[in-house]
């Protein structure tokens, strides 16, 4: 059976997740993240991708209303401790590792991650 025929026979064939991003939202693609990053003047490195994976995994284990911003910050800080922790992540994501990172990871950032009058706080 050809790929096209398989897609016609199975309309959910595109719902297969990228194995490198097992916790990504179903409608998220690496291509979309790359394009969004380009528009935000970011060139995604392996550390960017590792951050997006970490955010996606964290969010897969929590309901949006149950996201503890401090706990999330601490988890990211620990994950990247050897490179400088959360301070290092701010060099990767100038718009905030949580706020900008969530946007690129296809996730809704916690409301406490940004202050519209000030900018990104996380």
Encode pLDDT of 33-66 as tens digits: 999 999 999 999 999 999 999 999 999 998 878 8
Give the pLDDT score at 122. 56
CA–CA dist 109, 64 (Å, integer): 8
Question: CB–CB of 74/80 below 8 Å?
Answer: no
pLDDT tens digit string along 62-117?
A: 887 888 889 999 999 999 999 999 999 999 999 999 999 999 999 998 876 764 54
How far is residue 97's CA from residue 122's CA, in Å, rounded to a whole number? 6
Q: How many residues does the chain have?
A: 122
Token pair belonging to 100: 């900008």
In the chain, where the domains are located: 24-120
C-alpha 107/C-alpha 28 separation (Å) is 9
Q: Quick check: 54 and 76 in contact, CB under 8 A?
A: yes
Please tell me the pTM assigned to this model: 0.78
């Amino acid at each position: 059976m050809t790929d096209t025929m398989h897609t016609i026979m199975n309309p959910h064939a595109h719902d297969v997740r990228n194995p490198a991003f097992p916790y990504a939202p179903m409608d998220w693609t690496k291509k979309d993240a790359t394009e969004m990053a380009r528009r935000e003047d970011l060139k995604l490195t392996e550390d960017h991708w590792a951050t997006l994976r970490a955010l996606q995994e964290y969010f897969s284990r929590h309901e949006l209303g149950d996201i503890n911003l401090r706990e999330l910050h601490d988890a990211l800080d620990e994950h990247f401790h050897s490179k400088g922790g959360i301070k290092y992540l701010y060099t990767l994501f100038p718009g905030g590792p949580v706020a900008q990172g969530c946007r690129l990871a296809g996730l809704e950032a916690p409301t406490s991650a940004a202050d519209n009058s000030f900018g990104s706080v996380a």
